[in-house]
């Protein structure tokens, strides 16, 4: 229900704006108001809508990274590489990972290649298995 709150607010604001302008039209006030003042009123309504949209909290959830990794040299992954490895282990594609962290797909590919090199693996399946081993080691 909470995810629709912003949409409902925008709908109510838009409906109120439409009713306001219809009321202005009924009273023919727009004939007496200069065009630039009328357009300023319209712009103010849209500015208010934009500010309401900007106030909403971010809904993208970033998964919790692994706290520590086995101390062997091949497993010296950066924090971001650990986060990406976790998403790979969860079956996410490069495009989905890029969307989660708001980066380009090419950046994700670079991280994935670095992960493969550091873990000594050559594909996602092997990376998932390494991730599973690392998770067992931490427990």
Residue-wise DSSP of 25-76: HHTTGGGTS-HHHHHHHHHHHHHHHHHHHHHSPP-PPPPPPPS----SGGG-
* Number of residues written out for the chain: 139
Q: Along the chain (139 residues), what's the average pLDDT of each consecutive run of 10 residues?
A: 70 79 64 69 78 67 58 68 92 93 94 91 91 75
Candidates 127, 134, 114; CA nearest to 87 is 127
In this prediction, residue 74 carries a pLDDT of: 45
Structure tokens at 124: 């996602």
In this prediction, residue 67 carries a pLDDT of: 59
Candidates 89, 66, 90; CA nearest to 78 is 66
Considering only the C-alpha atoms of the chain, give the largest distance between any 2 of them, rounded to a whole number of Å: 78
Helix axes 79-89, 94-101, angle to 10 degrees: 130
pTM, entire model: 0.47
């Amino acid at each position: 229900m909470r995810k629709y709150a912003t949409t409902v607010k925008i709908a109510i604001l838009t409906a109120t704006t439409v009713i306001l302008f219809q009321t202005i039209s009924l009273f023919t006030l727009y004939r007496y108001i200069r065009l630039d003042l009328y357009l300023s009123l319209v712009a103010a309504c849209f500015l208010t809508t934009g500010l309401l949209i900007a106030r909403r909290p971010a809904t993208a959830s970033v998964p919790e990274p692994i706290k520590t990794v086995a101390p062997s040299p091949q497993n010296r992954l950066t924090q971001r590489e650990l986060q990406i490895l976790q998403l790979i282990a969860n079956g996410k594609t490069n495009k989905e990972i890029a969307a989660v962290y708001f980066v380009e797909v090419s950046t994700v590919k670079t991280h994935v290649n670095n992960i493969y090199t550091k873990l000594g693996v050559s594909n996602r399946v092997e990376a998932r298995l390494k991730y599973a081993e690392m998770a067992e080691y931490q427990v």
